[in-house]
Amino acid sequence: MPRQIDSIRFNETPEGIDLELRVAGPVPRALALFLDGLVRAGLYLVLIPLSALADTGVGLMLIGFFLLEWFYPVVFEVRAGATPGKRAMGLVVVHDDGTPVGLPASMIRNLLRVVDFLPVFYGVGLVSVLLDHDFRRLGDLAAGTLVLHAERRAPPRTIADTPPVQVPPGFALETQQAILSYAERGPRLSAARRVELAEVLTADGGIRGEAAVRRVEGWASWLARGRGLEAS
C-alpha cells in the first residue's frame, strides 16, 4: 500500500517517540501573512507622525521602518514562536525537528523572504509551498524550519460507565481503538447517527437500535476497564 496522504509529519525525538508535526498549508499561512501586513501597516502609521518632529523625527522614523521591515518577524518568532498574524491563525514556527525556532534559523528564513516575495506578492514562495511536501517556502527550506498548527483544542473525553461486555475475537487493534473512539466521541454525535454507526458492527449479530449502541459502548467499557475486577 502506498503511503497514506496526511497533513501530519512525524519526527522522532531523542526520547524515542514520534512527535506529531501538523504542518500548515498555504491558505492559513497566506491569511496570517495578510494579518501581519495589517499589523505592520498599523505600526507604520504609528511611526509616520514622527516625521512631524523635524529631522530628528525623520531619522527615528527611518530607523523604525528599517526595524519593521527586517526584524518584525524575527523578534516575534524568536520571543513568542510566532508573529501576531500567525498567532491569530494558530500557527507557530519551529525547527524541522519540532524544537522552537532560534535566532539563526529565524534570521535566515526572514531575510530570504526577499526571494520568496519575487516577482510579486510571494509568487516564488507560493509555488514553493504548493510543490513542497511540508509546505515550506524557500526561506523555510534554507533555514530548516516548519510552520505548524499550534493548538489542539482537546474536547473532554469520558468513556461512559456502561456495563462491560466482552469484545468478540477478531477485532484488530485499529478497530478496538475505533470502538474506544466511538465511546469517547459518541456524546457529540446525534442519537440517530450513533445507532447507525453501532449497527455497522452489530447488525451481523442481529442487534439493532439502542441495544447496538449499548453493546458497542459495553465493548469500549470492557476495553478500557476490563471486567471491573482489574480496576479495584
Partner 1 sequence: MDLDRIAVRTRPRGAWEGLDLGFAMARTWFLPLWRLWWWTALPTAVICLFLTGFRADLWLLALWWLKPLNEGPLLLWASRALFGESLGWRRFPETWRAGWPRRLWPYLLWRRIGMRRSFLMPLTLLEGLSGQAARERRRVMNDGGGVPFWLTLVGYHFEVILWMSLLLAVFFLVPAELPRLDLVSAVTGEGSWASWVGVLAYLLVFSVIAPFYVCAGFALYLTRRTDLEAWDLELAFREARDRRSEPAGLEPKGRFLGLLAAIAILPLVVPPDVQARPHPSLDPDQARALIQDVLAGPDFGSTMETAYWAPIERGDEPAEDSPVLPAGLPSFLRLSARVLKWLLLVGAVGVVVWLSLRMSRDWRPWRGRRARPDRRPPSPARALETSAHGIELAEVPTAVRACLQAEDRRGALALLYRASLTHLETLGPPVPDGATEGECLAAAVRNLPRSALGPLEPLTRAWQRLAYAHQEPSLELLEALLLAWCRWTQDAGASAP
Partner 2 sequence: MRQERFEAEQAPPWDEYQRLLARLEGRPSARGAPSGMDLGGFPRLYRQLCADYALARGRGYSPGLIADLHDLVRRGHRRLYQRRSRPFASALVFATDTFPRTLRRHARLFWMGLGLLFLPMIAMGLAVHADPEIIYSLIDSAQVAELESQYDPAGRKPGRETDRQADTDFAMFGFYIMNNIGIGFRGFAGGLLFGLGSALILVFNGLSIGAVAGHLTRLDHGGTFWPFVSGHGPYELTAIAISGAAGLLLGQALLAPGNRTRLAALRLNARDAVILVGGAAGMLVLAAVVEAFWSAGPAPAAIKYGVGAVGWVLVALYLGLAGRGARGS
Point out which residues bind partner 2 (CB under 8 A).
13, 15-17, 19-20, 54-56, 58-63, 65-66, 69-70, 78, 98-100, 102-104, 107-108, 111-115, 138, 141-144, 152, 154, 157, 159, 173-174, 176-177, 180-181, 183-185, 220, 223-226, 230-231
Taking the complex as a whole, how short is the minimal distance between the CB of residue 14 and partner 2, in angstroms?
9
C-alpha separations of 109 from 43, 65, 225 in Å: 22, 19, 49
Amino acid occupying residue 158: T
Would you give the binding string for partner 1 spanning residues 100-139, x where CB under 8 A is met?
Answer: ------------------xxxxxxx-xx--xx-x-x----
Give the C-alpha separation, 104 to 111, whole Å: 10
Minimum distance from residue 161 beta carbon to partner 2 (Å): 11
Select the binding partner of residue 223 from partner 1, partner 2, none (C-beta < 5 to 8 A, by kind): partner 2
Which of 7, 181 has the CB closer to partner 2? 181
Q: Scan residues 32-61 and list those touching partner 1 (CB under 8 A).
A: 34, 37-38, 41, 44-45, 48-49, 51-59, 61
C-alpha cell at 142: 534554507
- CA 109 to centroid of chain Cα atoms: 20
- Pairing assessment for the beta strands 18-22 and 91-95 based on DSSP bridges: unpaired
Q: Is the peptide bond before 104 cis (omega within 30 degrees of 0)?
A: no
Q: Within 147-166, which residues bind partner 1 (CB under 8 A)?
A: 149, 152-153
Residue 140 near residue 94, CB atoms below 8 Å:
no
Roughly what angle, to the nearest 10 degrees, separates helices 210-225 and 173-185? Answer: 110
Q: Which residue lies nearer to partner 2 by CB, 66 or 121? A: 66
CB of 34 to partner 2, least distance (A): 22
Residue 101 gets the label, from left (phi > 0), alpha (psi -120 to 50) or beta, of: beta
Which does residue 30 touch among partner 1, partner 2, none (CB within 5 to 8 A, set by kind)? partner 1
Residue whose cell numbers read 514556527: 93
Q: Is 144 in the site for partner 1 (CB under 8 A)?
A: no
Give φ, ψ of 134 to 5 degrees: -110, 25
Q: Could you say which residues in the range 65-94 bind partner 1, by CB under 8 A?
A: 65, 89-90
Contact with partner 1 (CB under 8 A): which of 161, 170, 206, 231? 170
